[in-house]
Amino acid sequence: MARKSRKHQAEQEMAYAMAQYIRTALYIRLSVEDRDKRGNSIETQQMVLETHLSGQPEFQVHDAYIDNGCTGTNFQRPAFQRMLADIEDGKIDCVIVKDLSRLGRSSIDTGYYIERFFPAHKVRFISIADHYDSETPDNLHGGIILPLKNMINEAYSMDIGRKVKAQQRQAMRDGEYVGGRAPYGYRKDSRNCHKLLVDEEAAAVVRQIFEWACAKVGNNDIVMRLNAAGIQAPSHYKRLKGEITHENLMGTGMWQTRTIAKILSTELYTGDMVQGKTKVVDHRQIPAGADNLIAVSGTHEAIVGKETFEAVRAWRTQVAEESKEREVSPYTLNIFKGKVFCAHCGCNLHRQRNKRKTMPDVYIYHCLTNSRVKKGACVGVTINEHDLLPVVKNILKIRLANTLKKYAIALCGEADRQRWLDRMRDNLIQSRTQLVRTRGFVQGLYDNLVRGIISEEEYRMLKAKYDADISTHLGEIDGLENGIAALKGQIAQYEALQRAMEDVKRSRRLSVDLVDFLVERIDITHDHGITLTARFEDGWEQYGEVWRQCVNI
């Protein structure tokens, strides 16, 4: 009879050992509306779960997945998605929650995970407060009560949503402002956050904008005048007043045409409150129709007269209609969209077409800062797309070749790579087997203490040793799992770059997908100096580090 290999024996031994304990995920969720309910706090949920597991050593906690401030009406939650990924990777055997509402408040989606997803991945599901355990299929909770509770949880969530929405809609009908921040030109009353008061400093700017628009000054010219005068853009003005603190909301500090367009189309400046222009559908805010609008007249002091507002609206509508009537032939595909920048001011270069009668149209990239933001604010950049393409292609060829050489120096050939991966997998099997054995020793240790075979002092000493061994094994497993995944990812990146190199050599014109894969950004100076920031060169250093770590494991 042929002898079994050590690897095969180790795999069988690990499979047997793995069956002796249950890798458990603790899932905890706290939504915004639950924060005032002490029974649902993060700490309370964690205590309930840990208390339930005490005295059941077969449940070994793999990780606690906590979503703080996340709604239960959808499942796009960071910790929940991370838990699903670990389930799909085979790292989890059981999921435990305090109650069904923590898993979710959508009856269809919650039912899918409990009845389809978890069983398909052989994952046990336990809801403590609902006395539900998927390993007891004869339990009536699985047949009737469980779906009913899911529907109750969903109904509860929907009821809260309806009440909040109804309250908000009623506030709109009462002429109360329900927005987060007051529009530019106004401030909120310190005694009533739903009441708007005129901010005279900003209101003067708003009046000036409407006066220019009444004189048929275009949005771009208005922007140039405001920036030339050094008037702060709304976001920076609001920061000065303490109404905005987050850097992501600050913008460039310069006025933009879209800001002017928004101000000129906002009826609120006439003293009328018009709200409900957007609505939430499937957790996304989208424009709403006219039937969703709620308009209340005379709710606050006006900044501009209604006659002025209507005159501006009529003129802007006329300009828009005339623009639609112009015949426009389609542009060619812009393969560098969002990737070409002015090296002097940092603005995205605008792609413009110069039409020709007898020859193909010419496309150029140029900086709009001097014509759209402020005169003299930038040195200025202009470059022909026909001149840019071959330079970028040549840069990519050189940089790809250099990067691939660095990858190739570290790679020892496909056979050697596979040998290292096999070695790491064997080490992983051994570490997991040793972990299971050590956990078994801990369980037996307690039994020996109860039966009087060992003393309390011996128990404490051995328990400390086994706990230290468990920590060591867990660290080894984590390092090996991460190392294998990282090494596979880096090899895949190397192979993708090889294919990209072939595409660059073979293709006469770069494709959108290829540019998106290889190029982070392209900065161009006024004298056509080109600096390309690649998306693949940093990967080499990461690859080298991963490879060194993996070889030493």
Q: What is the pLDDT of residues 66-91, one digit of tens each?
A: 999 888 777 888 999 999 999 999 89
Q: What is the pLDDT of residue 16?
A: 46
- Average pLDDT score, the chain: 82
Tokens 């010419």 found at: 362
Question: Minimum mean pLDDT among 113-117, 389-393, 409-413, 493-497: which range?
Answer: 409-413
pLDDT band per the 50, 70, 90 thresholds, residue 8:
low
Q: What is the pLDDT of residue 187?
A: 92
547 and 412 Cβ atoms separated by less than 8 Å: no
Q: What is the pLDDT of residues 300-343, one digit of tens each?
A: 999 999 999 999 999 999 988 888 877 677 888 899 999 999 99
Average pLDDT value for residue range 387-391: 92
End-to-end CA distance of the chain: 35
Q: What is the pLDDT of residue 185?
A: 93
Q: How many CB atoms lie within 10 A of CB 148?
A: 12
Q: What is the pLDDT of residues 228-275, one digit of tens each?
A: 899 999 999 988 888 877 777 777 788 999 999 999 999 999 998 888
Q: What is the pLDDT of residue 553?
A: 54
Q: What is the pLDDT of residue 28?
A: 93
Instruction: List the structure tokens of 123.
Output: 């994952």
Q: What is the pLDDT of residue 6?
A: 56
Q: How far apart are CA 103 and CA 97, in angstroms?
A: 7
Instruction: List the structure tokens of 478.
Output: 């984590």
Q: What is the pLDDT of residue 1?
A: 45
To the nearest 5 percent, what fractions of the chain are helix, strand and coil?
55, 15, 30
**Which conformational region is residue 254 in: left (phi greater than 0), alpha (psi within -120 to 50 degrees), or beta?**
beta
Percent of the chain with pLDDT over 70: 83
CATH class of the domain defined by 186-325 = alpha beta
pLDDT band per the 50, 70, 90 thresholds, residue 145:
low
* DSSP-derived secondary structure letter, 348: B
Does position 428 have pLDDT exceeding 50, yes or no? yes
Average pLDDT value for residue range 385-390: 92
Q: Which fold has domain 21-164?
A: Rossmann fold (3.40.50)
Q: What is the pLDDT of residue 154?
A: 55
Tell me which of 499 and 292 has the higher pLDDT: 499
Q: Which residues pair with 280 in a beta bridge?
A: 285
Q: What is the pLDDT of residue 144?
A: 46
Name the pTM for this structure: 0.55
Does position 197 have pLDDT exceeding 90, yes or no? yes
Q: How far apart are CA 13 and CA 15, in angstroms?
A: 5
Q: How far apart are CA 342 and CA 289, in angstroms?
A: 40
Percent of the chain with pLDDT over 90: 31
Q: What is the pLDDT of residues 153-174, one digit of tens each?
A: 555 555 555 666 667 778 778 8
Domain boundaries, the chain: 21-164, 186-325, 390-552
Average pLDDT value for residue range 276-299: 76
300 and 186 Cβ atoms separated by less than 8 Å: yes
